[in-house]
Structure 1
Amino acid sequence: MYNKPFSICLIVQWKGQNAINIEITVKELLKHETFLTADIICNKRSILNNVNTVTIMDIPDIVEWIHPKELIIMGRFMETHFDTEFIKQLADKGISGIISKKKFKKFVTEETIEASQHYNIPMIFVDDKFAWSEVTSTVQKLQSDKQVNILKETEMFHRMLLKYLRTNKGLNDLCSSIQEVTDLSIALADQNLNLIDQSYGFNWKEAIASLTPQDLRHKELLGYTLNQRLVQGYRYHCLENNEQNQLILIKNDEVRDEIFYLILKVPETTNVIQADILSKVETIQSIYHLKKSFYQDVIKTNLIYKDLAFEELLELTEPAPKSRSKFSLILGQRLEEHYQVVLIKNLNTYDNSDKIKKIKLFSEFSEQFYDSYFTNENTLIFSKNNYWVLLIGDSQKDLDLFVHSLSNFLETFLNHNRFYIGIGDRYPYYQLKSSWTEAEHSVLFLEKSNASDKYQFYKKLGILKLFTDESGSVNQLFIDQIRDRFLKPILEYDAEQSGELYLTLQSYFENNFSHNKTSDLLFIHKNTLRARLKKIESLLNVNLKNSNDLMNIYLAMRLNQMKSPLESEQ
């Protein structure tokens, strides 16, 4: 055994290499004149192996001194040591390839060729005239040249980023700007893998259409940055235009508030991502987060100013052309003549100490709301107290459909259905306080109610307006009397007999007292329906053809919706 293996084992490394981890591929190496006439035994994958260093094998037990990504130069040991077992040992060490001279090629057998192909180890046989020093100096020169090119490209890259930050470009043009300078094909996606921005020349939307965050289970080592920071990510293989592609998904630093993915398109055979590319990826993530934070701060500031304007708008009591012009300027659009107030109350509210989170959520709601298909661009958005406020102007058509779409949108956006929407009537812009009061009254009614409805138009409260106060509550004694007289006997009967009289009565009212529609809805015969209605008349001592009795029963059913949650459970 040798005590000083490095005295006979030449490992070519130079100052600065480990610090910045410059690598070249075998394919790049073969373009140099030293290797132009070389004989090559490799496959599509092995020719892309990365090379860090080159080692001359001058001792039999070289394996224990080998490091990953090394090129092994073999001379006379090709005759004595080059067999399938030795190739397996080299593969276990993760070498980049083997370099020898053509005169030693005669010692290569079909078995060793098969083994090298299996383990993705390329074999390169240079002309006999080249000294080993020429080979090692070639690797060194190529890495040095690549280092210079990387530095130049990095300088251009940083200049482009500074220019990007100086311009007024939005958040959806970063990827194309980077592609123009670096030729990187990249995209940005949110935490649900919805595209935020993408470079051109590739159908990103189609490529990740079927990909979900749940599919990203196995995080892999992708490589190291120039500063030797380990980078992990996910690999996804997709087919686009009959071409197999590999997408690399790198999640941003999770300690930040907003999670997003940077997606990099690379050749299908790529195993390790080059250090300079990973360093660029790291910078791109930081730049995007910086500009996103800046945009969010601007949006939050604008929302605060708009909320102050809304407070003033609520105080108007008579036409004020000058004030209307001022508000139009602040809000960025001309105030319409009439508006309806729509109030949204999120029941999953945060406490006062989490004000920043509330503002962020409202900011995201505003941004996504205006991007929704059902939205009228003239709709104004504010926040006041615990409400999100929409002002719906004359230009909004089919308000019923709008509110229904809004309810579906909120359920998706909030990821829960614990919210209420109250809609006031339409008033001139200088009487918004009235519409606000009605919308708030409607929300409070829903909160007091036990109904499953998520929204309430004030105008549809009907006769219940006479019995509700400003908090949405009604006279409890009156509720008890009406319920006991016109509803309680039916509820007790259903509980004792497992009947469906209440459901029948409710369907009968909802279908405008039509026997045919009600029986069809309940999947019962019309005779069965008549028998149930007769039983209801008997229990309540009423006549369902009498308008007064019908009004009392309907009122009892509506007031029953306003039971407290405790009463409901009882």
Structure 2
Amino acid sequence: MLTFMELICASPFYKAEIIGGWKGKDKSFSNVGDTPTKAETILLLLPSNNETVSQLQDYLSLQRVQGILLYGEMEHPIASTDLEWIEDHHKPVLYIEEETNPVILKKNITDLAHLKSIGLYQYVFEQSTHYSLQYIDEQGLASFFQRLSHVLDQEIYLLDEHFFLDSIHGENRDVFKHLESLYQAQLSANYPTESLSIVQDGLEHYFLFPLVSEDQYYGFVLFQEKPNAMIDICIELITHTRPALLAYLKKEAAVLQAHQSYKDDFLYNLLYNNIESEQLLIQQGKRWGWDFTIPSELMVLRVNQKDETKKLNIDTDSMMKKIQFIISTRFLQGIILLLQGDIIIIVFDSEPLQPEQRKELALSIAREIHKKIELDFPHLNCGIGIGRHYSSNMELFRSFYEAKVAIELGKYEMRQASVRHFEDIGIARLLSNIHRNTLHEYYSEVLKEILHDHENKTLYLDTLEAFFQHNADINQTAEQLYVHPNTLRKRIKKLESILNADFNQLEDLFEIYVAIKVMKMLK
């Protein structure tokens, strides 16, 4: 005896359309023919002409009839009232258009039943790999997973290598993200996970099929254990579709890599001012769905390990996906690019904004990204620099340079911040354009007497830096240095004498302040 689930997993019936009644997929039949019998359960094999279609309810009302397979070209669609009746009675109705010879169809079904009777049914799945690949090429990945979910009567999901739902499933992409740590725990415990993992999350059980080739993960197929599910059929069918999915994803990855190479070259030329004209910029941007007629903001994200003694791999792919997710949740279009170890982020405006509004938007996005990266990657320090806005995207190379200056020089500010806009880095903007030798000569001359005092040099420099950081507030500076305010006052007087300066004179203070900042920048 065969079930309808077993039937539709075999050739040529995996091409059949499920008209309705699939809740009865586990019904079995012992005979196949075009006439109902009294003695045996039967699958009716009928031509899909108007006469047959008009009598579907009569056929399915017969007790021994478990379902119907229609074949040949259908003259008219089945009425909606009949479809509702079929669904309510849980008797499957299948339709196969390609095959019009009932003798061949009956022989295929009979051979399939014989294979099952001698314990060789599993061999029917071997043909499904070729069919799956053909179906994906012709109908697309989304249609294939809809078909697979319909056949197995439960949701089958495709995850990427980071456990995010593939875009074919719509939004809420991180719904299964929590399973990643459970799966990694199985890998660490050396559980066999190459072909199938059963991941338990509380009372829920998930079947996880890795799509892996030569130690490279292309994603996972996942389904959740449900009551009354035909788990063995689900496992067999997905197992034999895995090679097709893997072949398709590897091909897509190769195409994407080549596509990405052209895209990266274009963005590199944009950031280094190698685009000939704005017209060419707009034209080339359209190839990848970017509208460079819309103003944009540019920021640079840089990470480094907190503990430099430990060499850890930095998962920039996962980082970039998190950044893209943050941008998309704000209904903005963004470009994320990895360049020379930094992550470049270009965000297009969604509406006309005033300069201050635009700056605040860029800072808000950058702070949200910074918070997410430091939360999800606690072993890393994260800094973000933001360049100024320009009316034409042809000027993005300037914004790119400024963002790098902001991230590099911002850390030398007395009041350090992890997110810096170029407009807010103060005097460092001017100093960044002066030759290093000139800057070195300047601070060496101003701080000469301190630098030559090897015994007290560190003490004096720390005092000056804290003094400027707290805007010359004696009490706050003393608190940071763990000294009494009177002790600090005496030390300040000593520094005034050493530097031949009067700290009550703004010009003297400013000269020493700039010298301290330049020294930090160069070192």
Q: Is the TM value for this pair above 0.5?
A: yes
Q: Secondary structure in 2 aligned to 1:398? A: helix
**1:405 — aligned with what?**
368
Is the 2:300–2:384 Cα contact (8 Å) retained in structure 1?
yes
Q: Secondary structure in 1 aligned to 2:366? A: helix
Deviations 1:228-263 (A, max 9, x none): xxx765444445xxxx44334454446232264444
**1:370 — aligned with what?**
324
Deviations 1:209-231 (A, max 9, x none): 69534532555579xxxxxxxx7
Structure 1: segments with no counterpart, 5+ residues: 1-30, 34-140, 223-230, 349-357, 496-500, 565-570
Classify 1:318/1:199 alpha carbon distance in 2 versus 1 (closer, same or farther; 3 Å).
Answer: closer
The reply to whether residue 539 of structure 1 matches residue 495 of structure 2 is: yes
Residue correspondence of structure 1 range 171-570 to structure 2 within 5 A: 175-183=145-153, 186-189=156-159, 193-196=163-166, 205=175, 212-216=182-186, 218=189, 233-239=196-202, 244-253=203-212, 255-258=214-217, 260-266=219-225, 274=232, 277-310=234-267, 313=270, 322-323=279-280, 325-336=282-293, 338-344=295-301, 367-372=321-326, 377-382=332-337, 388-395=343-350, 397-409=360-372, 417=380, 421-429=384-392, 430-442=394-406, 445=409, 456-469=420-433, 475-485=439-449, 492=456, 506-513=465-472, 522=480, 528-529=484-485, 531-541=487-497, 542-564=501-523
Q: Distance in 2 between matches of 1:506 and 1:537?
A: 16
TM-score in terms of structure 1 length: 0.51
Q: Which amino acid aligns with 1:427?
A: Y
Q: Distance in 2 between matches of 1:444 and 1:557?
A: 16
Q: Which amino acid aligns with 2:136?
A: Y
Residue correspondence of structure 1 range 7-86 to structure 2 within 5 A: none
Q: Distance in 1 between matches of 2:282 and 2:197?
A: 53
Q: Which amino acid aligns with 2:253?
A: Q
Q: What is the CA-CA distance between 1:412 and the residue it aligns to? A: 6.9
Q: Distance in 2 between matches of 1:325 and 1:563?
A: 40
TM-score in terms of structure 2 length: 0.55
Q: Distance in 1 between matches of 2:455 and 2:164?
A: 49
Q: What is the CA-CA distance between 1:306 and the residue it aligns to? A: 3.4
**1:167 — aligned with what?**
139
Q: Secondary structure in 2 aligned to 1:258? A: strand
Classify 1:375/1:320 alpha carbon distance in 2 versus 1 (closer, same or farther; 3 Å).
Answer: same
Q: Which has the larger radius of gyration?
A: 1
Q: Distance in 2 between matches of 1:307 and 1:347?
A: 23
Is the 1:490–1:502 Cα contact (8 Å) retained in structure 2?
no
Instruction: Between 188-197 and 546-555, report the one with greater CA deviation.
Output: 188-197
Q: Distance in 2 between matches of 1:461 and 1:289?
A: 49
Q: Distance in 1 between matches of 2:149 and 2:468?
A: 64
Q: Which amino acid aligns with 2:361?
A: D
Is the 1:245–1:268 Cα contact (8 Å) retained in structure 2?
no
**1:71 — aligned with what?**
none
Q: Distance in 2 between matches of 1:315 and 1:251?
A: 41
Structure 2: segments with no counterpart, 5+ residues: 1-27, 31-112, 306-312, 351-357
Classify 1:563/1:505 alpha carbon distance in 2 versus 1 (closer, same or farther; 3 Å).
Answer: same
Is the 1:422–1:455 Cα contact (8 Å) retained in structure 2?
yes
